[in-house]
Structure 1
Amino acid sequence: MELGSIIPMASEKGCDCCETGDAERDKNGEPFGCAQRKMIFTRREEEVLRRIREAREEAKSVKAKIDYIAEHESSNMEAWKKANKKLEELRRLRWELEKERIEAAHERMVLLGHA
Structure 2
Amino acid sequence: TNNCESYFPPRIQDVNEAGSTFFSEFYLTRGEKDVEAQLDHQLRNCLRYGSRPDVTKILRSMGEKAKQDDSTRVAVLVCGPKPLVNGVVATGMTLSKEMKIQFDVHTELFDF
The answer to whether TM tops 0.5 is no
TM range (shorter): under 0.3
TM-score normalised to structure 2 length: 0.24
Higher fraction of strand: 2
